[in-house]
Structure 1
Amino acid sequence: MVEPSLWMKKVAANPGHSQWYIERFRSMARAGEDLAGEARLVDAMAPRGAHILDAGCGPGRLGGYLAAAGHRVVGVDVDPALIEAAEQDHPGPRWFVGDLAELDLPARGIAEPFDLVLSAGNVMTFLAPSTRVQVLTRLRAHLRDTGRAVIGFGAGRGYEFEQFFDDATQAGFASDLLLSTWDLRPFSEDSDFLVAILRPV
């Protein structure tokens, strides 16, 4: 039995949390705020028509953008309410409810490996700590050998960057590029955010 994610523990403690999160981003979108910075970075890295996995896709803001840009997108999230919102707000990608620690998309009829894996929105910090290496290993398993994973999360959320680097190495990744923002500012020891671009080894 896989330990429940910290996100689902939060939802269990506050059943309205998912809807609050969904409405927060819908409100920001109505206000014209820029919600696609992470997706623009991934789009710039991707060949046209790339196969992209949005791991921890939430209500679909990034996968929706990438699909509109012409990519073949599959989004997975553990929270059924977020997947329902993604289906409503961003038709086009294939959205699935699933735990990243048990990710097996070939079992769902998606056998082709992915060119890119995106995990934004602090997804890594919402994982159950006991599943972190397992999640990264499953992401690696779904990535083609020439592909890359792009993972971003903030400091001070219970997952130290050095531990993440160790976990990523254990899962079969090496770092290609480390940034401190989605708009390409360099990473340093005192950065409070990490965007790691990883390659399979």
Structure 2
Amino acid sequence: MQKVRADPGHSSGYVERFRALAAAGEDIVGEARLVEAMVPPRSRILDAGCGPGRLGGHLHRSGHTVVGVDVDPTLVAAAQEDHPGPRWFVGDLAELDLPARGVAEPFDAVVCAGNVMAFLAPSTRIEVLRRFRRHLTADGRAAVGFGAGRGYPFPEFLQDAEQAGLVPDLLLSTWDLRPFREDSDFLVAVLRAAEHH
């Protein structure tokens, strides 16, 4: 929310940008297609840092049960307006406790796209990853993607994930399945719960 305080028009501008891209027929759901490849039909998916709902909305229309959470009320309001069907909540991912909000069942997948991890306060990163793990089924997985040069080096992220009880199943450099290399400027980490955590 620091970004929003610094630029009060940020959220509405973000909403309008994705509405315009969708209206122009641009592909804005590539991240959702990767998640769909990870889960069976009619899965339960958590859209963590859901923004205006582009991914959760697509996943819902594909037949999945979707819950979306974002700290920005403007973005959640846009998700509710543009993508009815999923349950959208305003909330801080570092305090994520969906059973307390009446969502008891764990999720088959968590998707965390749009550089959400890089926007988090550094002090909350491990706790957010812990909460992702806590909300997953035993064999569920989280797909987390963000770009380099945003103050969260990839090796540090992977260490934090391990500390939170999540280990990589697959590391990619794009949402369209290109392999991750040492010099990649983007990371998509597909994480699962560590065996003994």
- What's the TM-score, normalizing by structure 2? 0.98
Name the residue aligned to 2:61: 68
Q: Share of identical aligned residues, percent?
A: 72
| Equivalent AA in structure 2 for residue 117 of structure 1 | V
Give the 5 Å matches for 1:20-99.
Answer: 20-99=13-92
- Which runs of no fewer than 5 residues in structure 2 stay unpaired? none
* Matches for 1:1-201 after TM superposition, within 5 Å: 8-201=1-194
- Counterparts of 2:138 and 2:167, CA distance in 1: 12
SS at match of 1:24: helix
Give how far 1:145 is off: 1.1
Per the TM alignment, residue 149 of structure 1 is displaced from its structure 2 partner at its CA by: 0.4
- SS state at 1:111 partner: coil
* Deviation digits for residues 79-105 of structure 1 (CA, Å, limit 9, x no counterpart): 000000000000010000000000000
Q: Tell me, what secondary structure is at the counterpart of 2:171?
A: strand
1:14: how far off? 1.3
State the one-letter code of the partner of 2:139. Answer: T
> What is the CA-CA distance between 1:44 and the residue it aligns to?
1.3
Give the residue type in structure 2 aligned to 1:25: F
Q: Which letter does structure 1 place at the counterpart of 2:140?
A: G
Matches of 1:174 and 1:13, distance apart in 2: 35
What are the Cα deviations for residues 22-57 of structure 1, in whole angstroms up to 9, with x where unaligned? 001011111110001000111111111000000000
CA distance in 2, matches of 1:134, 1:78: 15
After superposition, the C-alpha distances for 1:159-197 in whole angstroms (9 at most, x for unaligned) are 000000000000000110000001100000000000000
For 1:98, give the aligned amino acid: G
Q: In the alignment, which residue of structure 2 is the partner of 1:4?
A: none
**TM-score, with structure 1 as normaliser:** 0.96
Tell me, in whole angstroms, the C-alpha distance in 2 between the residues paired with 1:14 and 1:192: 26
For the residue of structure 1 that corresponds to 2:141, the secondary structure is strand
| CA deviation profile, 1:127-152 (whole Å, cap 9, x unmatched) | 00110001001111101111000000
The superposition leaves residues 44-78 of structure 1 with CA deviations (integer Å, 9 ceiling, x where unpaired) of 11111000000000000000000000000000000
Measured in 2, the distance between the counterparts of 1:161 and 1:23 equals: 30
> Which letter does structure 2 place at the counterpart of 1:191?
S
Name the Cα RMSD after superposition.
0.5
For the residues of structure 2 that align with 1:47 and 1:189, how far apart are their CA atoms? Answer: 31
In the alignment, the residues of structure 2 paired with residue 40 and residue 115 of structure 1 have an alpha-carbon distance, to the nearest angstrom, of 15
Q: Distance in 2 between matches of 1:81 and 1:174?
A: 33
